[in-house]
A and B are shown apart, each in its own frame.
Chain A
Amino acid sequence: MAENPQKSVAHPRPLSPHLTIYRWPVTMMTSITHRATGMALSGGAVILAWWLVCISNGPEGWQSFHGIMDTVPGLVVLFGITWSLAYHFFSGLRHLAWDLGYGFDKKVAERNSVIVFALSFLVALAVFALVYTGHAGYLR
């Protein structure tokens, strides 16, 4: 590679703030997390399709689904999808509010970002707590 003619001889000049040293505002985190959870939920849709196929296959299908998902990695994936759905739900409501013209104030946007993160974890934990305390399965 050719020598950079603009390379400083004595001291390297300071670069503009880069991602590695940039303080991430919470609004930036909510934006990127909305996209990441959306991508994760696309994978969740595949698991949902597999779940429906398993149910349609009767007892053996139900067993095969639970044989894989009732393991530690399976439960980690299920918790990830549950949290992703909760997050994407609350963050999505926020996006719809923005489309109607609400919530653009800087302080409000920062406050709502924290609320969305808190609510999503709360709901995901509540879902798992309901299952493990035996309060789920009410359709029996």
Chain B
Amino acid sequence: MSSLQTPLHKVRGLGASHTGTGHFWRERVTAAALAPLSLWFLYAVLGLAGTSEVTALQFLAHPWNALLMAAFVSFSLYHAALGLQMVVDDYIHTAGARLFLLLGIRAALLTCWLVSLFAIIRIAAL
């Protein structure tokens, strides 16, 4: 016998804490999605720099651009939630402060997400 782990334990791959693998994976998957989305975002903001609100409205009202902006905002904020949680997990050692910070961070990021999506939909509907 080479290992004391059961086959089920190995195939689940969750480690000793039974959690965290999902967090690790989501962070990588959102990062992989954000790499090409960031290039599009750079193309978009550079193209809109120094123009007018008419240009920005027309550009973002295009279905593809609205979808890409919604995807960029959504993946960014989800990735931010995962990353900021890691910072809190690393540096905040009291349970109360950790809970307070995690709830606060998620409330702020969720608000940011809802506001962004509402604005994108509003622009697309104009």
Contacts and interface: CB of A to CB of B under 8 A. Distances in A.
Interface of A: 35, 38-39, 41-42, 45-46, 48-49, 52-53, 55-56, 58-59, 61-62, 85, 89, 92-93, 95-96, 99, 127, 130-131, 134, 136-140
Interface of B: 28, 31-32, 34-35, 38, 42, 44, 46-53, 55-57, 59-60, 69, 73, 76-77, 80, 83-84, 87, 108-109, 112, 115-116, 119-120, 122-123, 126
B50 to A, nearest CB: 4
A89 B77 CA distance: 15
Nearest to B41: A85
Contacts of B51: 137, 139-140
A96 B53 contact: no
Q: Does more than half of chain A's interface fall in helix, strand or loop, or is it mixed?
A: helix
Contacts of B42: 85, 127
A139 B119 CA distance: 20
